[in-house]
Amino acid sequence: MKILLIGANGIMGKKMQEYLKTQNCDFFALDKENIQEYKNCDTDIILDFSSCYALEQNLKIAKEKNLPIVVGTTNHSEDNYKLINEYKNYLPIFISSNFSLGFNVMLEMLKNLQRLKDYQFVILEKHHKNKKDSPSGSAKTIQKYLKQNDINSSIISLRVGEVVGEHSLQIYGENEILEIKHTAQNKILFCEGAYKVCEFMLNKKNGLYSMEDMLKSDCL
């Protein structure tokens, strides 16, 4: 598998390069300074860890090269989601706010919480002090899953120290408190997940795919 990595100079981009080297995986690492070199890259798939603001550019590259694209950026606007829904007709697109297997299994657990919808739901998310978006894409994903089950929630975001990523769903009843928590201890966790997603997306038909689709497959 040959990967075209876009956003190579970012925090996740640099970590992904380190991981890909341990996998003996052929890859081309591009950023905004040398993005035009994509034309000379012979690859099987695009992995986007750049920015939500570069989404349209990267979708156009994927369409031009007729390649599936895995989008790992967050903080997307409604216009971006419209673009994704448009381009899914032309190419396979995978988008996720979090590539951790454990986090996404936790999301599956949230589907069983409707009986507690009269409780108070609070999402507490912590990330390192340099993380740009707030709330995190993962926190918004948790909130979306709850909303699908008619559960309202609030989000509290903290940007402190060097915290890799921590998401806690706290559920307050009159006489009890339930907490569901996921803690990422090393960013390598997300690299492992992104690599598995790339393998999953090879030879897929045009359309939109998610971690939920991958969890249902035999790729894990």
pLDDT tens, position by position, 185-220: 998 999 999 999 999 999 999 999 999 899 888 766
Residue of 111, 141, 138 whose CA lies nearest to 125: 138
**At 127, is the secondary structure helix, strand, or coil?**
strand
Residue of 48, 95, 92, 31 whose CA lies nearest to 66: 92
pLDDT tens, position by position, 109-154: 888 898 898 999 999 999 999 888 899 999 999 999 999 889 999 9
Q: HSE on the CB side for 167, CA within 13 Å? A: 22
pLDDT of 220 reads 63
Domains and CATH numbers, the chain: 2-95+188-215 (3.40.50.720), 101-184 (3.30.360.10)
Indicate left, alpha or beta for 99 from its phi (over 0: left) and psi (-120 to 50: alpha): alpha
Q: Indicate the pTM of the whole model.
A: 0.87
Separation between Cα atoms, residue 42 and residue 2, nearest integer Å: 8
Q: Name the residues annotated as catalytic.
A: 127, 131
pLDDT tens, position by position, 70-97: 999 998 999 999 999 999 999 999 999 9
Angle between helix 55-65 and 78-87 (nearest 10): 10
Say how far residue 25 (Cα) sits from the centre of its chain: 21
Give the single-character DSSP code of 175. S
Percent of the chain at pLDDT > 70 equals: 99
Q: CA-based angle 218:219:220, to the nearest 5?
A: 95
